[in-house]
Amino acid sequence: MAPSRFDAALQDAALRMETTFAHALSEAHPLLSGAPERLLAAMRHGALGGGKRLRPFLVEASAALFGAEAAHAAPVGAALECIHCYSLVHDDLPAMDDDDLRRGQPTVHRAFDEATAILAGDALLTLAFGLVAEAEAIEPAARLRLVALLSREAGAAGMAGGQALDLEAERQALDEPAIRRMQAMKTGALIAFAAESGAILAGAPEADRARLRRFGEIVGLAFQLADDLLDETADAATLGKATAKDAARGKKTLPALHGQDWTRAELERLVAEAEALLASYGDKAETLKAAARFVAFRDR
Amino acid sequence: MAPSRFDAALQDAALRMETTFAHALSEAHPLLSGAPERLLAAMRHGALGGGKRLRPFLVEASAALFGAEAAHAAPVGAALECIHCYSLVHDDLPAMDDDDLRRGQPTVHRAFDEATAILAGDALLTLAFGLVAEAEAIEPAARLRLVALLSREAGAAGMAGGQALDLEAERQALDEPAIRRMQAMKTGALIAFAAESGAILAGAPEADRARLRRFGEIVGLAFQLADDLLDETADAATLGKATAKDAARGKKTLPALHGQDWTRAELERLVAEAEALLASYGDKAETLKAAARFVAFRDR
């Protein structure tokens, strides 16, 4: 798939996800009816109106590979985006990364207050599991599997654990294996879940599920490498958030350890590996392959 | 059931829950294997070694009323306790209630640090849903219903929303309907879930489920009234946490509005209402009735 066609597909999916997501975060949603207005507003501030919506895109593309409709994948994508966005809201808090700006907007604790940001994050995380449990187009057994897997990948053994390791890295520099472990948990776990969950919700056989998971792990690795590279090379206006922060805090990244040339070569290698994994699916896997390439070589 | 026999039953259940819960929070648990040690330690600090474990007790007693074994109820009780404990960890944060002491021990952000306390709370909340999803003794459809209901009751329309309203109460005094709404969400939602979830996991008919929910709502109301009364009358050493905090912050409670005599009469009325609701179950409901009485007239 040509990059421009992929960009259009990604933006199209992001627009559709925005609609699904805005509904999931409205007072009209049965999981939220009666919620306080200000808390809902903070949740929406942290979750709507921005982001590439890459994770829901991967869920949808992975589900499509096994014949499931986009509408069936949408609640899982929305759940994943709830969790991604909650993690940003909490990571931005003064006690964590202390960021004022996210996607070019004030962070939730800046636009509201710190306590509200903590609660909005909590409520987004809590909502995610309800969205999956109520995704009635998905078989009950698959939904339960998705809830359990999401709990693992977002929790102490996954994303939250990775963030804890990242905080420890501010106190003592990590060596390369420790950096890789931290990143596999902090960023990789949810991206791997995105790719795997499409196969699960579509009822794909175990071998396909495992292959999509591995694909997701590689894409997650590429995502983080590209992110670290952008942190070194891009400017804040393009990214809509502060840059060069890792170096300023003495946090080691793989680009910092090995240099930008190594990083670009490693990204090529990872994309080739991801594409090879999906070779047996032929043209049907074009969207996922293009996604891997986009993740590795994006400029934002 | 005599108060002393009830006390013994509650303590016995709490001990069993402690074992279940310690296992759920160990590195050996499949949902947590590979999690960073320090984060796990913070989760355990916030969750183990204390508390009356009232919510799991209600799950178990409600399930028993409809013939389900305690072992079937245990994962739901553990999940509920994860959520209750996460809410305490986050509520204690400097940006929220700013408490140094909980159950006579330093709060998580005091024993560790603020960022770790935020993440430990997040990870406890995340774990809860995995525990329910993997509770294999419960029918898949009932498990999904429990996940969805727990998401609603713990989220913006339930507990987290109630905490948001409680924070707003520091800025502007609430009137009685607003106090009741806040408390029904902040405390009532999880206690109502506890009573209802037992009926759900045991596969009880809809009418029984609704009755147990109503019972839980009344018990939740009594729980909060008793809590507010204890905040006025008990000392910190007995409760293991700071007291007389509501008055100091200008937060209105129902005992503050109506007085202690009214509160004790109201507690008697609520207990009678709760007992009447369960009258048709006869002796089988003795444990639940004793729980309602305990909640209303406890001294800790």
Regions of chain B where pLDDT drops below 50: none
Write out chain A's pLDDT in tens, 300 residues: 777 889 999 999 999 999 999 999 999 999 999 999 999 999 999 999 778 899 999 999 999 999 999 999 999 999 999 999 999 999 999 999 999 999 889 999 999 999 999 999 999 999 999 999 999 999 999 999 999 999 999 999 999 999 999 999 888 889 999 999 999 999 999 999 999 999 999 999 999 999 999 999 999 999 999 999 998 887 655 655 555 566 666 678 999 999 999 999 999 999 999 999 999 999 999 999 999 999 999 887
Tokens of B91: 């509520």
Instruction: Report the chain B residue with the minimal C-alpha distance to residue A43.
Output: B156
Judge: B167–A35 Cβ closer than 8 Å, yes or no. Answer: no
Please write the tens of the pLDDT for every residue from B192-241.
999 999 999 999 999 999 999 999 999 999 999 999 999 888 765 565 55
* B102-129 per-position pLDDT tens digit: 988 999 999 999 999 999 999 999 999 9
Task: Please list every residue in chain B whose beta carbon sits closer than 8 Å to the beta carbon of residue A167.
Answer: 115-116, 119
Q: What percent of chain B has pLDDT over 90?
A: 83
Distance between CA atoms of residues A37 and A199, nearest Å = 37
Q: Which of A43, A96, A131 sits opposite B156 (nearest CB)?
A: A43
pLDDT for B242: 59
Residue B121 near chain A (CB below 8 Å)? yes
Closest CA to B131 of A122, A119, A155, A164: A155
Query: From the candidates A26, A38, A39, which should be mutated to test the interface with B, based on the most B CB atoms within 10 A?
Result: A39
- CB contacts, 8 Å: A201 with chain B: none
The reply to whether ipTM tops 0.90 is yes
Q: How close A187 comes to chain B (CA, Å)?
A: 15
Question: Is there a contact between B161 and A34 if contact means CB atoms under 8 Å apart?
Answer: yes
Give the bridge partners for A101, in sequence order: A106
Tell me which H or E stretch contains A106: strand A105-106
Is B39 within 8 Å of A156 when comparing Cβ atoms?
Answer: yes
Mutate which of B39, B86, B89 to test chain A, going by most A C-beta atoms within 10 A?
Answer: B39
Joined together, the tokens standing for residue A254 give 């793989």
What is A3-297's CATH number? 1.10.600.10
Chain A closest CA to B174's CA: distance in Å? 14
Nearest to A156 among B90, B123, B155 (CB): B123
Q: Which of A29, A21, A64, A61 is nearest to A45 (CA)?
A: A21
Q: How many CB pairs under 8 A join A and B?
A: 185
Residue-range domain boundaries for chain A = 3-297
